[in-house]
Structure 1
Amino acid sequence: MNLAWRVQALALSLVFSTSNVWASEPIQNANTDLVRQAFANWQQGKGTVFDLLAPNAKWTVAGTSPVSGVYNNKAELAHVVRSITARLATPIVPTVQNIVAQDDVVVVMWDGTATALDHKPYNNTYLWHMTFKNGQIIEVTAFLDTYVLDDLIRRVKPAQ
């Protein structure tokens, strides 16, 4: 292949690849902004990221902890979240480490800290892979240190 043909092929491939990025930027920026604001609200005690969930959002908790599995809607997820927060004396306070977005997907890595009912710290690191549709989260895969979560669940009896 001659040099002129290679340059044309490279130029065309750059045009096509960057045009897709430009088209998706408003969506990914809007979704990223929603996530940033939801985490900021959570830090201030004014809501959580769960407020962005569609009613029938699918949430998968990876790993082998007692709460690992697939939850098929917001109500199922709320039940398992309550089983965790019932063991905490203070709410989990999130600190975002990184947010990456592409098209309708936003991935956020964050640290959560709280105090358990037994006065010991609960510190965990999370990575949530979230898929958006029309400004709502429709699917999440959550990765976390399931050992730390399992320890909390086994060690602390939930408040009544």
Structure 2
Amino acid sequence: MDQARSIARKYADLLCSGAFAEAFDLLAPNVKYRIIGTTPLSTDLHGRDTVKGALVPALASFKQPPQLTLKEIIVDGNRAVILASGHGIGPTGLPYSQPHYAMVLRIDNGFIADVEEYADTVAVEVALVGNKLVPA
């Protein structure tokens, strides 16, 4: 459990400091990374290089990079949940606000082997894609 907590904490600290590429270096070479939801950015990514190739440029496209704030890390065995919030200005120029954000990690052999990322999909649609929520 100590290894899972240590790796999750290092990952969270790097994300919170804006060192996204360095955080993704903690991913296993064959990581499975899932962004939950039905937005155009919701996807399954396989492999550290694929994750870095997709997410580092996406994060760099923000007009004001997302600033994450760590709330809590919960660890059980080789699993860790990072609870955080985040704010920035998306590539659309619109505010990106994630008051409740979660990442579920599985740690294996000193690397993050699986990630499931949960975020407010409306915030993603608005700030990253440029779609606005309208009444049905």
Query: What's the TM-score once normalised by structure 2's chain length?
Result: 0.80
Q: Corresponding residue for 1:95?
A: 69
- Aligned-pair identity in percent equals 22
Q: 1:69 to 1:101 in 2, by over 3 A?
A: same
Q: Corresponding residue for 1:56?
A: 30
Q: Corresponding residue for 1:38?
A: 11
Q: Corresponding residue for 1:133?
A: 108
Structure having the higher helix fraction is: 1
Once the two structures are overlaid, the 10-residue window that deviates more, 41-50 or 31-40, is 41-50
Residue 71 of structure 1 pairs with residue 49 of structure 2: no
Asked if the contact 1:87–1:152 (Cα under 8 Å) also holds between the matched residues in 2, the reply is no
Matched residues in 2 for 1:144 and 1:135: separation? Answer: 26
Matched residues in 2 for 1:143 and 1:117: separation? Answer: 20
Q: Choose between structure 1 and 2 for higher RCO, CA contacts under 8 A separated by at least 6 residues.
A: 2
- After superposition, give the CA deviation of every residue in 1:62-101 in whole Å (9 maximum; x if it has no partner): 1101111211112222233145324312222211112111
Once the two structures are overlaid, the 10-residue window that deviates more, 127-136 or 76-85, is 76-85
Cα RMSD for the two superposed structures: 2.2
- After superposition, give the CA deviation of every residue in 1:35-88 in whole Å (9 maximum; x if it has no partner): 223322333344553221011100111110111121111222223314532431
Shift of 1:103: 0.8
Alignment gaps of 5+ in structure 1: 1-27
- What is the aligned residue count? 129
Q: 1:86 to 1:35 in 2, by over 3 A?
A: same
Q: Corresponding residue for 1:4?
A: none
